[in-house]
Amino acid sequence: MTTLLQLLITGLLVGAVYALMSSGLTLIFGVMRVVNLAHGAFAVLAAYLTYTVWTWTGLDPLLSVPIIVAVMFGIGWLSYNLVVRHVRGSHISMTVLVTFGIALTIEGIAGFVWGNQSRTVRTSYTDTSVQIGPFFLPTATLLAAAIAVALLGALFFILNQTWTGRAVRASAVNESGALLVGVSVKSIAASAFALGIATLGAGGAIIAVMYPFIPGTHYQWIARLLAIVVLGGLGSLMGAVIGALSIGVAEQFATQYVGASWVEIVPFLVIIIILIVRPRGILGQKLREDATV
């Protein structure tokens, strides 16, 4: 029973970080119907930036989150305007190819800049844990989850309480309707993409503390993040949160009760099964292309 609860708690903590990272993926899909396969690569890029800030200034990586978020917002905005903008409205498969191209480019550039060795960010709390009753909670994971929850709250606030946020949500629901009430869907799309990458940037800074990374790490991340948003329902933010917590817990349980090697395949099985059995996921709307029989 203790083990069970321990796994559940760890899974939920890790899941909170997953939720932060996948929120951008689902937001971007919701607003512009682009499946951003570069999402994992952007996360790894953010981790490398965190590493650089840490080695140069010694600043605690969790404190550098605001810097990373700002930089990633800029990178997201640029990527949108330089590349993604040109394929909006083309067939969705084409947008998948373009974002995969971005992912490969980032992987290669990261290799040039930071080398292909594995990098880690070691802080004073990397190996410590907090003991509460029979449970141990790794300090880094605990801090990471707290930051993730706070940032997710901020994201929900932005989307619900600010004009830009509401415009983003309106564009996601109904593009022509949004146009009608004076939302410039074009510039909103750029903001949404940048916002999605910025929140992911915070996630990237957090995972830099938790796990070592190499440029090729992005494949695992994109698999996991895709599984999360597919499970939650493409385009749904609440769905992504639920999906992330489920995947986080599922990974812990699979390791304990099925075998560690199964963790790798959990995301892919989730993707295949959900897309075949219930393509709209837990909370998503039907995709138009899937609407007909």
Partner 1 sequence: MNTTNTHAKASTPRSVTVPDASKVPGWARTETVRRIVTVLLGIAAIVIALFPVVPNRSAQSTVIIALVVAVGAVGLNIITGYTGYLSIGHFAFIGVGAYFVAILAKAVPGVAPLVWVPVAGLVTALLAVLLGLVTYRSRGPSFVIISIAMLFLMRFVATEWHAVTNGTSGITLPMYSWPREWGNWPIHISLVVLLGLSLALSGWIRRTKFGLGLIAIREDEGKAGTVGVNSPVYKLLAFGASALLVGMAGGVYGYFMGFVDPVNMFSILLSVQLVLAVILGGRGTLFGPVLGAFIVVPLDIFANNTGGGGNTRLVMFGLLLIFLVVLLPKGVLPSLSHHLERIRTRGTVGLSGTRLGAADELSIRDRPEVPDPAELAERLEAAPPILEVKGLSKSFGGNQAVNDCTFTVPEGSITGLIGPNGSGKTTVFNLISGTLLPDAGTVRIGGTDISRMPSWGRAHRGLGRTFQSTRLFKEMSVLENIAAPLGSFSIPQLGLDAVSGREAERARELLDFVGLSRYEQAKAGSLSYGQQKLVELGQVLVLDPKLILLDEPAGGINPTLIERMGDLIRDLNAQGKSFLLVEHNMPFVLGLCNPVRVLAQGHIIAAGSPDEIQTDDAVIDAYLGDDYLLDSDNSATRRMAIEGSAS
Partner 2 sequence: MRIGASLPLTGEFSQGGADTQRGYEIWAKLQNEQGGILGRKVEMIYKDDATNQNTVVSNYNQLLSNEGVDLLLGTQSSLLNIPASTVAERAGMLYICASCASPEMFNRGFKYSFFSQQAMASDQGATFADWIIGLPKEKRPKKVAYPSLDDPFATPVAEGIRKKLEAAGIETAYADTYPVATKNFDAIVTAIRDSGAEAVVQGAQFEDGVNFVRALNRANFHPEILYQSSSPTYGQQYVDGVGKANTEGVLFSSSYHVDADTKGNKEFAARYREIYGGYPPEDAADGYAAGQVLAAVVEGVGRTDDQKALADWLRGNEVETVLGKLSWNEDGSPRGDFLLGQWQNNVSEVVLPGEAATTTRITRWRGEAF
Q: Confirm if 8 and 134 have CB atoms less than 8 A apart.
A: no
Task: Pick one of 182, 261, 292, 293: the residue that binds partner 2 (CB under 8 A).
Answer: 261
Taking the least distance from each CB to partner 2, the nearer of 67 and 137 is 137
**282 lies in the site for partner 1, by CB under 8 A:** no
Q: Which stretch binds partner 2 (CB under 8 A): 56-64, 97-105, 166-174, 212-220?
A: 212-220
**252 lies in the site for partner 2, by CB under 8 A:** yes
Give, in degrees to the nearest 5, the angle at Cα 279 between 103 and 188.
55
Task: Pick one of 83, 87, 216, 271: the residue that binds partner 2 (CB under 8 A).
Answer: 216
**271 lies in the site for partner 1, by CB under 8 A:** yes
Which DSSP string do the residues of 145-200 spell out, in sequence order?
HHHHHHHHHHHHHHHHHSHHHHHHHHHHH-HHHHHHTT--HHHHHHHHHHHHHHHH
Residue 75 CB, shortest distance to partner 1, in Å, is 15
Task: Pick one of 67, 149, 158, 287: the residue that binds partner 1 (CB under 8 A).
Answer: 287
Q: Confirm if 147 and 65 have CB atoms less than 8 A apart.
A: yes
Residue 286: which region, alpha, beta or left (left: phi > 0; alpha: psi -120 to 50)? beta
Residue 285 CB, shortest distance to partner 1, in Å, is 8
Measure the CA–CA gap between 205 and 200, rounded to whole angstroms: 9
Taking the least distance from each CB to partner 1, the nearer of 66 and 111 is 111
**Interface positions, 88-127, toward partner 2 (CB under 8 A):** 111, 115-118, 120, 122, 126-127
The encoded tokens of residue 288 equal 């138009």
Q: Confirm if 248 and 12 have CB atoms less than 8 A apart.
A: yes
Q: Give, for 264, the enclosing helix (H) or strand (E).
A: none
DSSP secondary structure code for residue 285 in this structure: P
> Among all chains, which residue has been given the structure tokens 């022509």?
176
**90 lies in the site for partner 1, by CB under 8 A:** yes
Inter-axis angle of helices 139-161 and 185-210, nearest 10? 170
Give, in order, the Cα–Cα distances in Å from 94 to each of 33, 35, 80, 189. Answer: 11, 10, 15, 18
Task: Pick one of 8, 179, 263, 287: the residue that binds partner 2 (CB under 8 A).
Answer: 263
Taking the least distance from each CB to partner 2, the nearer of 111 and 177 is 111
Which positions touch partner 1 (CB under 8 A)? Answer: 35, 83, 86-87, 90-94, 96-98, 100-109, 111-112, 116, 219, 223, 226, 230, 234, 261, 264-265, 267-269, 271-272, 275-277, 279, 287, 289-290, 292-293
Which positions touch partner 2 (CB under 8 A)? Answer: 3, 6-7, 10, 14, 111, 115-118, 120, 122, 126-129, 131, 136, 138-139, 141, 210-212, 214, 216, 220, 251-252, 255-256, 259-261, 263-264
